[in-house]
Amino acid sequence: MKYPNVLTILLLAWALLSCGNSLSELQLAAARGQSDYINALIEQGADINKPNRHGTTPLILAADNGHLEVVKLFIAHKANVNAKDNDKMTALMAAASDGHSNIVKALMEANANPNITNKFGSTALTNAVFFGHDEATKVLLSTGTKTDREIGNKTLLIAAGLGNTPIVKTLLDAGFNIDARGKQGRTPIMVAIAFEHPETVQFLIDNKADLTVKDDDGATLMELAESENNSAIIRALKKASAT
């Protein structure tokens, strides 16, 4: 007979302890998207803002799992749209991270705050950009709520570093600074060069990024491209007469 090793036993025990009784009936129904059952529980007096041991509220669970109808139900019952879990994540951040743009829209219309930061310093917009969700990014920027300029410029640097040209375009269309400075004094085009994204570099050239900039170490765009030995980027910079 083959017995499980000690590590397997420990992992199984951890999983059981982590899952056991951590969710109330309402929280479990929210995660599953069971709107009829949620209605019944609310009528019985269930606390719609009660968090689980991770600080996660039913609204956050519904948003994270993409259940629009349930999210709207909680909003209608005056759930706290800006409640935070133990990592200071909100329902809006959860929806943005997973690209649930329809839920992002519903939460923004319910006055969810897009400028709240979690314990990692990220916002809903940062998360949408980092995980590559262009539509959620557009929704966050088009609802009339003012997005912090510093946050917006930071996300532009992130998008450039990831080589996500569509999101770079979305952020520039929203008015963020094409020459915003980040770590080491690098601008979006410098970041795109450093991470070797020729399409994004060309897009930024076409949109009049400053080609004469230097980072905090005095490196020019061409010097950065040559250090990465990326021939496509070097050609693009030479064609644009970048130094």
List, for residues 194-212, the tens digit of each pLDDT value.
999 999 999 999 999 999 9
Report phi then psi at 184, rounded to 5.
Answer: 60, 15
Give percent of the chain with pLDDT exceeding 90. Answer: 82
Are 49 and 142 in a shared domain?
A: yes
Q: Do 120 and 153 belong to one domain?
A: no
More confident residue, 1 or 90: 90
The whole-angstrom separation of Cα 29 and Cα 71 is: 12
Output the pLDDT for position 10. Answer: 53
pLDDT score recorded for residue 228: 92
Instruction: Say yes or no to pLDDT of 243 above 90.
Output: no
The secondary structure of residue 214, as a DSSP letter, is: B
Same domain, 27 and 142: yes
| Same structural domain, 71 and 89 | yes
Q: How far apart are CA 8 and CA 46, in angstroms?
A: 38
Report pLDDT for 152.
80
Are 141 and 150 spatial neighbours (Cβ–Cβ below 8 Å)? no
Listed residues 146, 172, 204: the one ending a domain: 146
Residue 74: inside a domain: yes
Number of domains into which the chain is organized: 2
Report the pLDDT averaged over residues 145-158: 80
Are 213 and 190 in contact by the 8 Å Cβ rule? The answer is yes
Q: How confident is the model at residue 12 (pLDDT cuts 50, 70, 90)?
A: very low
Element containing residue 129 per DSSP (H, E)? helix 124-130
pLDDT, the chain, mean: 90
pLDDT, residue 179, reads 96
In a domain, 4, yes or no: no
In terms of domains, do 66 and 164 share one?
A: no
Residues 30 and 110 both lie in one domain: yes
Where in the sequence is the domain holding 77, given as residue range(s)?
A: 23-146
- Looking at residues 223-228, what average pLDDT do you find? 95
Q: Residue range 156-178: average pLDDT?
A: 96
